[in-house]
Structures are given as C-alpha cells and as structure tokens.
Structure 1
C-alpha cells in the first residue's frame, strides 16, 4: 500500500453502547454460604457480529458478545452476557481487509468496555472480580476463515 492509499483510510469510532445485557444468579444466596472454599469453574464464550448501516458513508455496527458462566459442583453460580456494540466509520478498505478491520480492530476497541461491564455486574452480584484475559481476535479471525475454507467432512 502506497502513501496516498494509506492517507485515504478512515477508522473512526462514532458511538459505543450496550445493546443487550443479561445477568442471572440462580444459586444465590446459598452459593455464598456453602462451599466458599471450593473454586468456581469459569467459562467464557464470545462472538463478533457486524453489519452495514450506511454503505455510502462507510458506517458499520459491530457487536461483541461475551458470555461468562461460573459453576461450582455442577451448580450455576452466575451467568452474565453482554452485547457491547459500536458504530464505526470505516473507509478506504474493502474485501478481506474490511472484514479484518470489522472483526479484529473493532472488537479490540469494544473489549475494554465489555470487560468493565461484566466485571461490574459480577461484583454487584456479590461475587469476586471476574477479569477477562486478553483475547487475540486476529487468531480467532484466522481460525474462523480456515474453518470456512475447509470443506465439511462426511462420515
């Protein structure tokens, strides 16, 4: 990419917002009394969705969904799901590069917001902080692309 092409690239954050949020703690209050010394098993799942809001202006919505669950002795302690979204203005890129920007760069922008929201919900629910480790969205994107490229096996 030459200098003039790089100068035409646009990446602006227009708005960051919570699109959907859910918190459940089915084992409360007994979870606070029983087996406090036993460690909880934490599971994290995530997904990235995106869509075009205004193609002429390069306006896209990207949503990062993170679901965190905690179990102890096969009992659900809590389940929290946050869909953190943003509106981004992106120009000067297309095709695979645009897909990478939407699913990697935008997801990296949204991650600190969703991390803070989940940690806040879990803490307000009476549980210890839940710090989500850094996520390598580039590796996840590459894995997704590889999975889509390989034909399904027939057994």
Structure 2
C-alpha cells in the first residue's frame, strides 16, 4: 500500500467533460392543427428511445446520440395528436474508463448527463406546438442498455445454425 492510502495499480480517475451538445435533427408534426381540428381529449403518449455512440477522430472523444420518437394519440379514438422526433448529440471527452466498461459508460452515463437538456427541449417544443408541455419522466438508461444487450444475444442465438 502506498503512503497516501491508495493501493498500487489503482484504477485511474474517471474524467468526463461535455465538450458540446446540439440538436442534429428535429421534427414536430402537429397533426391536429393540420386537420384543422382541436381536441380536449385525454392523450396517450408513447416514447421510444434509441441510443448510439461512436468514437471521434480526436483521442478520448466520443459522440453519444439519443434519439426520441414521441407519439401522442387520443386515448378513446387512437387519432394522432402529434409526432415528435428528436436526435440529440453530446460530444464527450472521457478518460480513465477501463476499455471493458467504456461501452456501458457511453450508453448509460453520457445520456443521463444530457437528459435534463433533452427534457427541456421536449417540454418547450410541445408547449410551443400548442399542447400542454410534455415533461418526460426520468429514463432508465441502465434498463435500456440491458434490454438492448438481451435483444442482441437473442438475435445472435437465433442466427446460430442448429446441429
């Protein structure tokens, strides 16, 4: 043990800096306004979340993409009120994360860091689109990551030839 109480060979300090964040693509389709009708009906909102990450050419820099597809329908009739698609990107400088932990770190911790900004955009756009502001519930990025791993394992198992 070293004098400062740290064990020799200890993991390096994890560092994460958000270098930038931006909307890569956004679409808000107010279907009710296009039809020229209004409604006070109870909405049924579905939210789909997809995550992606890729290494940038600069050392220790990564791009993390969160894609949202939000659809609001009238509960009783199923008529579409609005469709909102958003692709939000964060650029991160990350060091000190072991290679075997980098993938989950990129797809769990980075989106979690950007989520408050994403939530604000969704709230503002839905309000400006003539609807009550949609305040997204917290997203469980760990569950999304685990579900994607399970889906990939199932997919690869299905592709294996049987003997």
TM-score category (smaller protein):
0.7 to 0.9
- Give the conservation status (yes or no) of the 8 Å contact 1:64–1:111: no
Give the 3 Å change call, closer, same or farther, for CA 3–43 of structure 1 in structure 2.
farther
Residue deviations 1:98-131 (CA, integer Å, cap 9, x gap): 0111000001012111111111110001101111
TM-score, scaled to structure 1: 0.86
Give the 3 Å change call, closer, same or farther, for CA 139–3 of structure 1 in structure 2.
farther
1:110 paired with 2:92, answer no
TM-score, scaled to structure 2: 0.82
- Which residue in 2 is equivalent to 1:52? 55
- Give the conservation status (yes or no) of the 8 Å contact 1:5–1:92: no
Corresponding pairs, count: 150
From 129, 134, 158, the counterpart of 1:152:
158
**How big is the shift at 1:52?**
0.7
For the aligned residue pairs, the C-alpha RMSD in angstroms reads: 2.2
1:92 paired with 2:100, answer no
5+ long unaligned stretches in structure 2: 1-6
Alpha-carbon distance in 2 for matches of 1:17, 1:58: 19
Alpha-carbon distance in 2 for matches of 1:101, 1:126: 37
SS at match of 2:33: coil
Give the 3 Å change call, closer, same or farther, for CA 5–83 of structure 1 in structure 2.
farther
Greater C-alpha Rg: 2
- Give the conservation status (yes or no) of the 8 Å contact 1:66–1:114: no
Residue deviations 1:28-83 (CA, integer Å, cap 9, x gap): 16442x4x1x211111011111111136x210000111111111123211111111
5+ long unaligned stretches in structure 1: none
